[in-house]
Amino acid sequence: MGQKSAIEWTDHTFNPWWGCTKVSPGCVHCYAETFSNRYQFDVFGPRKPRRTFGESYWHEPLKWNRLAAQTGTRARVFCASMADVFEDNASVEPERQKLWRLIDETPMLDWLLLTKRPQNMRRLAPWENDWPINVWAMTSVEDQAHAQSRIPLLLEVPALVHGLSVEPLLEPVDLAPWLDDLQWVIVGGESGPGARPMQVEWVAFLRDQCIEAGIPFFFKQWGEWSYATDSSMPTRRVGKKAAGRDLEGRTWDEIPDVESLWLARTAHF
């Protein structure tokens, strides 16, 4: 797992462990839990043991880093697709400490740390006020209430990149209060059994906000539902692949330019 990610906005995925506990409506149809159960790993829930991995797995990012150094092209690593790095769970603390060391050893990898628990980021990470430039702080937002509660906590983290994964988008979300401080917005619809549809106008509104604010916008997927060109409402369930990821006639694959952001920060100081 992880060498070439199927997730559109990253190059690799890395999971220091598998397992998590649901915390909000976006977790209801958790794809990671479904995937884990398919392979008979019962690791989701507050009292379930997490699945951990051996040394050969932990060496994979070192290989990616060497390749990135050889080619001169940075690579993005989503961490974690099967867990939440900032889950406050003492049983995974050894793996979490190991992850911090791995991040320090891989400066050519940009680590996308996506969490639904931004309140834990500064407390559980080791960097205090000096976060590495290859760590992107990101949080998930599925509705306006969680935008209100999570984004301010995310922005307290002194990271070079602050990003949002607005997936699954369950209702209209307005990012206006935080647009000056965000560096990336990803939007996507829900996939899998029980997927809840979203509306075209919700996605287009966020896209337009990002364009106006100069924030890179990435549209990941419609999810399970197709949409007629003359209607913002879902028309029928067709599956993720058939629904595609075009928004108003094109794909949106914008990604932050880390070097430009770093130069802008150093110039400011």
pLDDT of residue 1: 47
* pLDDT value, residue 146: 99
Which two three-digit tokens encode residue 251? 């794909």
* Domains annotated on the chain, with CATH: 12-268 (3.20.20)
Report how far residue 220's alpha carbon sits from residue 187's, in angstroms, rounded to the nearest whole number. 6
Per-residue pLDDT of the chain (269 residues; tens, 9 = 90+): 446 788 999 999 999 999 999 999 999 999 899 899 999 999 999 999 999 999 999 999 999 999 999 999 999 999 999 999 999 999 999 999 999 999 999 999 999 999 999 999 999 999 999 999 999 999 999 999 999 999 999 999 999 999 999 999 999 999 999 999 999 999 999 988 889 999 999 999 999 999 999 999 999 999 888 876 555 666 688 888 888 899 999 999 999 998 888 887 777 65
- The whole-number pLDDT of residue 266 equals 74
Under 8 Å between Cβ of 85 and 117: no
Closest CA to 51 of 61, 36, 62: 36
- Please give the Cα distance from 80 to 130 (Å, whole number): 22
45 phi/psi in degrees, rounded to 5 = 125, 155
Residue 186: closest CA among 2, 1, 7, 4: 7
Q: How far is CA 34 from CA 28, 41, 161, 181, 263, in A?
A: 11, 10, 30, 34, 42
